[in-house]
Chains A and B, each alone.
Chain A
Amino acid sequence: MQNILQRYRSTSFDTQSVLKILMILVGLVLLASAFSQGVFLQPKNLVNLIYQNALLIVIALGQMLVIITGGIDLSVGSMLAISSVLVVLFQDYGLPASIAIALIASVAFGLVNGFLVTYVRLPAFVVTLATMQIISSIAKVLSGGGAIYTGLHGAEIPVGLGEFYKNTLAGIPYPLFVCLIVIGLAALYLRSSIGHYTFSIGGNERAAYLSGIPTRLVKMAVYVISAALCCLGGVLFVARVGMGDPQTGTWIPLDSIAAVSIGGASLSGGTGTILGTLIGVVILSVLNNIMNLLGVPPTLQPAIKGIVILLAVYLNSARKQN
């Protein structure tokens, strides 16, 4: 036992935090299995888990990058919504074109977020809170207020997209495939030099700047990446439900921040792991499952999630710089 403890203490703090939440996850899974009398661990249920969370995983990874730099992106939900609207709206020009338009719009929003945080030096939560509402309004303007199912001139969503969630490639369902690609890219990002810069900026921006790191570029980049991933989420959304909805994504900001926090990242920046974030998403999902199994009313669940975030942040908040 002593040896194990010693080895634990000598690993980096990032590894320690992942191990901690892994244990929590195992505990929760056992709990869920118990409540569901074994149904939870069946492969069908687990595959369902992936389907339900592909969107959140993709967006949470983007949120993780922003949080590592010490920022936060509350506009992810609205960006998801407007991307879904744009993809459907411009169907008349074909799927690739509509996705391209959505991507350009998302990148533009990301640049606005990044600019205001980096150059005007407004706190990220204020900026993204405001852009969240602005983008949401624009989405409603574009869609006329409600969900849309066809493009401007009546083009329908291609069948292939709708089948996306049902098809597999070499046995792996498409959504999972997409997740794996994004996870791979995120891992590459964190191990690269820009990843190193991202961690440093989150830990101490001034020191990072004086050490020669292009802090402003990196900060702008993470907001743009987050926006781009929201666009991807928007495409996944359309694939799953077949419509563009300006009102979707209300809980995405809260969920993504919760996942990243539970995963061990500190909201003041400088820490964060991909594995942790993924585990965070899974824990959230399991929590949802447990709440459903226990018969908790759906309207109360966001409140409980709010409490969970507070708990997660509280447990992680001991690691602020100074």
Chain B
Amino acid sequence: MDHQPPVLSMRKICKSFAGIQVLKEVDLDLYAGEAHCLVGENGAGKSTLIKIISGAYQPDSGSITYQGQLLKNVSPHWAREHGINTIYQEIDLIPTLSAAENISLGIEPIKKNGSIDWPALRERATKILEGWGAEINVDVPVNTLKVAYQQMVAIAKALSLNNRVLILDEPTAVFTSSEIDLLFSILQKLKSQGIALLYISHHLDEIFRIGDRVTVLRDGTLIRTGAVDEFNKSSLVKAMVGRDIDFSLRNGDHCQGEELLRAEGVTRHGVVEDASFSLHCGEIVGVAGLVGAGRTEMARLLVGADRPDRGKLYLRGQPVEVGSPKEALLKGIGMLPENRKEEGLVLMRSMSENIAYSLVEKDARFGLVPWRKIKKAVQDMIQAVDIRPARPALQVLYMSGGNQQKVVLSRLLLAECDLMILDEPTRGVDVGARLEIYKIMQALKKQGKAILMISSDLPEILTQADRILVMAKGRIAGELTAAEATEEKVLSIALRLGEAV
């Protein structure tokens, strides 16, 4: 920015994991007072790079200079002590401890006799949080707070030291737009205090909003570094993927078929209130809403993972009760869970085993499984969906996010579900795989399937969905067709019943 030397300078950083090179001679300069955005597809190496800066990983080769000094063997503890703080996507707080304790974790103020100085501890926390205008109870365990509040406590924790460098790894994943505004105003303040910000995000608008400079990584290699002004959305994406992306992958025509599923007054106390809607064959229905609106909870009710307290479901006009995910699958309703690693995949088993669940159930006679027949079906699916690498025996653990998502999708496809509920289908998925997933969705729509797509990515919903249900505070607050929907309309419906957090 000025002509001062960078606060942090990385040269020729290399890192490999299990023989796979994740970073190849990456350079990065961070200047005081700038917001430096780091972009790239998944697997580009962004997370690894920041973990090296924060001391969680050690580079295989290359040098890091911090405030003029060459760093060796940085530990997370050392990094934190010297002003390099990282805020991860996973909220790294201790759920059973209070916000006050979390914010000062590891550096609790102590009295002369060595015991913890509780009033000082509390004050440190309240000073920061109140300065933000966020009314957060610092004395209760943080796992009793709302998720967005938890994230703010995590940020407060990172900010409570002498920061020189603050790294944020997709912090806004679970934020409402007012919370994002709050965050950005805080970041602006930090910039003016001379703190260097390193900001990773998949949301390009945020980059153009807050960023000063941007570094693009692709496959572990540095592609370009420059001022944000030098880019626009499409040139940025092009640098990330190395090809031209057609942003106007607008949804195909809407051909609504017969009614497949109808929900009337479905309620689960505290999370979903009186949900009534219908889904038809051959359409994609998007579900938008703020975090906490109850979208995933409603999906779980439809698929039998939870039981509703009240309400009725009709499948093709007939009343139906879904008691378990197994029953749902038998009736043709399948779900791609929000959190694929924890709920969608058995990471240590192979790709083909993960895909074959539904077939195992359907084709088994007296418990015996016709493995050879299943293998063929699985292989055909892997080809059709273009999963890479196309090795059926590979443990899913080693695959990229996008391909893992395709594995779960393949399972649903083999199960021949008529209704597919996709919860955040492109979260954590790189741009290339994202487009492939959209193509699959479109193809399914043409085949007459019904897709219920829950997404926090408004542009995604606006381009892919035929109709949009907007949820707020557990209710379906509004419904829009693709033609009439805009980001502002969706957001205003989502906010009308829900207050700003």
Contacts and interface: CB of A to CB of B under 8 A. Distances in A.
B387 to A, nearest CB: 17
B357 A13 contact: no
A194 to B, nearest CB: 6
A253 to B, nearest CB: 25
Interface residues of B, number: 35
B369 A193 contact: yes
Contacts of A204: 342, 345-348
Given A206-B342, A212-B357, A212-B358, A192 B349 contact: no
A210 B336 CA distance: 9
B347 A200 contact: no
A192 B357 contact: no
Given A13-B395, A199-B353, A211-B325, A193 B346 contact: no
Residue of B349, B357, B371 contacting most chain A CB atoms (<10 Å): B349
Contacts of B194: none
B393 A12 contact: yes
Interface in B373-407: 393, 395, 397
B189 to A, nearest CB: 37
Contacts of B129: none
A10 B391 CA distance: 9
A209 interface: yes
B368 A210 contact: no
Nearest to B368: A192
Contacts of A212: 324-326, 328-330, 357-358, 361
A60 to B, nearest CB: 22
Contacts of A191: 368-369, 371
A211 B411 contact: yes
B369 A214 contact: no
Interface string B438-461: 000000000000000000000000
B346 A207 contact: yes
Contacts of A200: 346, 349, 353, 357
B420 to A, nearest CB: 14
B132 to A, nearest CB: 33
Given A200-B353, A203-B346, A210 B369 contact: no
B364 interface: yes
Interface string B347-369: 11110010011101100100111
A37 interface: no
A295 B326 CA distance: 57
B128 interface: no
Contact of B337 (A10, A210, A322): A210
A282 B462 CA distance: 63
Nearest to B329: A212
B316 interface: no
B428 interface: no
Given A10-B393, A192-B367, A200-B353, A213 B326 contact: yes
Contacts of B349: 199-200, 203, 270
B344 interface: yes
A208 B305 contact: no
Chain A interface SS verdict (over half): helix
Interface in B119-133: none
A207 B343 contact: yes
B97 to A, nearest CB: 23
A193 B350 contact: no
A166 interface: no
B325 A207 contact: no
A238 to B, nearest CB: 32
Interface in A291-320: 319-320
Contacts of A13: 395
B326 A214 contact: yes
Interface in A164-202: 188, 191-194, 196, 199-200
B325 A210 contact: yes
Contact of B357 (A194, A211, A270): A211
A120 B347 CA distance: 26
A64 B162 CA distance: 53
B335 interface: yes
Contacts of A210: 303, 305, 325, 335, 337, 343-344
Interface string B190-213: 000000000000000000000000
A206 B346 CA distance: 9
Given A193-B364, A210-B337, A211-B325, A321 B357 contact: no
A194 B367 contact: yes
Contacts of B303: 210
Contacts of B325: 209-212
A200 B344 CA distance: 11
A208 B408 CA distance: 12
B341 interface: yes
Given A191-B368, A196-B353, A207-B342, A270 B348 contact: yes
A271 interface: yes
Contact of B369 (A12, A192, A271): A192
Contacts of B346: 199-200, 203-204, 207-208, 270, 321
A322 B361 CA distance: 27
B54 to A, nearest CB: 20
A271 B348 contact: yes
Contacts of B397: 321-322
A322 B329 CA distance: 27
Residue of B337, B367, B397 contacting most chain A CB atoms (<10 Å): B367
Interface in B299-343: 303, 305, 324-326, 328-330, 335, 337, 341-343
A18 to B, nearest CB: 15
Contacts of B305: 209-210
A203 to B, nearest CB: 3
Nearest to B305: A210
The 5 closest A-B pairs by CB, nearest first: A203-B346, A212-B326, A192-B367, A193-B364, A212-B329
Interface of B: 303, 305, 324-326, 328-330, 335, 337, 341-350, 353, 356-358, 360-361, 364, 367-369, 371, 393, 395, 397, 411
Interface of A: 10-13, 188, 191-194, 196, 199-200, 203-204, 206-214, 270-271, 319-322
Given A204-B347, A207-B346, A210-B344, 18 more contacts: A192-B367, A192-B368, A193-B360, A193-B367, A194-B367, A196-B353, A203-B346, A203-B348, A203-B349, A206-B342, A209-B305, A210-B335, A210-B343, A211-B344, A211-B358, A212-B324, A212-B329, A322-B341
20 contacts: A191-B371, A199-B349, A199-B353, A204-B346, A207-B342, A210-B305, A210-B325, A210-B335, A210-B344, A211-B325, A212-B324, A212-B361, A213-B357, A214-B324, A270-B346, A270-B348, A270-B349, A271-B348, A322-B341, A322-B347
